[in-house]
Amino acid sequence: MRAGFVNIVGMPNAGKSSFLNAIMGTKYAIVSHKPQTTRQRMLCILNKENIQLVFSDSPGFVDRALYKLHHAMNKEIYSAIEDADLLLFVLDGLSKIEQQVELLKKVLDSKIKTAIVINKMDEIKSSQLSAIYDELKIIAENIPVFEVSSKTNAGLDAVIQWAENNVPEHEAYFPADDVSEKPIRYFLSEMIREQIYLNYSDEIPYSTIVVINSCKGVDEQAELVKIDATIMVNKSSQLAIIVGKNGSAIKNLGIKSREAIEQFLGQRVFLGLTAKLKENWREDENFLKKTGINL
């Protein structure tokens, strides 16, 4: 039996979560075009005959960490670099590589076996790709490089094969039917938060956090799952934006969130959604710990 932790790191918007979802063949990590969408590490477990690959998604590095939340997100990255059996550095092929070099050097300095994944190959021009390889020759000589498109799944099999070939001999870390270490409430809150990122602009997505107060019927495969959730906002002015005129915005958010959750669970869902003010929650250590953020 071979098993190991394959940790995915990279800068914001490099497509780490889309890459993980493509690897798993199912959407587990939320995705948006806004940076800092991912806040916590999440494990996804890919089981094959005599091989278990434990992939770890991580937040993008916050260059200007302003809040305890940001520092916690960066801490998750450093942990991912330290505790890996293998590292996959997802490189955004559409962004300047100079912006990604600092984090890449930290990864390479770890001395953990690493591969570089050039993502978004379906959009990269040949001139951009050539410039990337010129830079990698300088800072990452003899490091395997894979060209991948998370949208089309091109190149994924080669990455998985590399991971299978390089994880150590070890007993499985998780039962064969596990797909993640996160509880169902985590995925429910993340799906609501994803819709906030997709449907609100400016500071709103970064100033909100979703708390699942109750969830009934998932484990029992009930005909109707009942979920009660609260969106916490940072300022009173943001509360009005989340709710909208006559509650129209939060109603629309509830509809889209319910549809996403129903697709994920394969069950009908009743979603009760409210919004509350929780001033400066990004600096509140006790609150962050209660919501599962590791400080």
Helix (H/G/I), strand (E/B), else coil: 201: coil
Q: Is the pLDDT of residue 205 over 90?
A: yes
CATH number reported for the structural domain that contains residue 17 in this entry: 3.40.50.300
User: Over the range 42-65, which residues count as b (16 or more CB within 10 Å of their CB) and which as e?
Assistant: bbbbbbeeebbbbbbbbbbbbeee
Confidence at 21, pLDDT banded by 50, 70, 90: very high
Same domain, 142 and 283: no
Same domain, 40 and 162: yes
Within a domain: residue 13?
yes
| Residue where a domain terminates, one of 166, 196, 223 | 166
What residues make up the domain containing 128? 2-166
Same domain, 15 and 48: yes
Within a domain: residue 173?
no
Q: Is the pLDDT of residue 9 over 90?
A: yes
What residues does 42 pair with on adjacent strands?
A: 57
Same domain, 158 and 244: no
Helix (H/G/I), strand (E/B), else coil: 259: helix
Query: In whole angstroms, what is the distance from residue 177 CA to residue 262 CA?
Result: 21
> Hey, CA dihedral for 105, 107, 110, 112, is it positive or negative?
negative
Return the pLDDT at 270.
98
Within a domain: residue 70?
yes
Q: Average pLDDT, stretch 20-32?
A: 92
Confidence at 96, pLDDT banded by 50, 70, 90: confident
164: burial class by Cβ within 10 Å (0-12, 13-18, 19+)? middle
Return the pLDDT at 58.
87
Q: Average pLDDT, stretch 215-233?
A: 95
Within a domain: residue 179?
no
Within a domain: residue 177?
no
* Angle value at C-alpha 36, between 29 and 158, nearest 5 degrees: 45
pLDDT tens for 56-67 read: 998 887 877 778
Cβ–Cβ < 8 Å for 5, 163: no
Q: Average pLDDT, stretch 25-29?
A: 92
Within a domain: residue 174?
no
Average pLDDT of the chain, as a whole number: 93
Query: In whole angstroms, what is the distance from residue 129 CA to residue 248 CA?
Result: 45
Query: In whole angstroms, what is the distance from residue 236 CA to residue 233 CA?
Result: 8
**Single pTM value for the model:** 0.89
Same domain, 43 and 14: yes
Same domain, 212 and 284: yes
Strands 208-216 and 145-147: unpaired
Same domain, 30 and 110: yes
Same domain, 134 and 254: no
Return the pLDDT at 66.
79
Report, in this order, helix, strand and coil percent for the chain, each rounded to 5.
Answer: 40, 25, 35
Same domain, 40 and 113: yes
Same domain, 226 and 96: no
Residue 272 has, within 13 A of its CA and on its CB side, a CA count of: 10
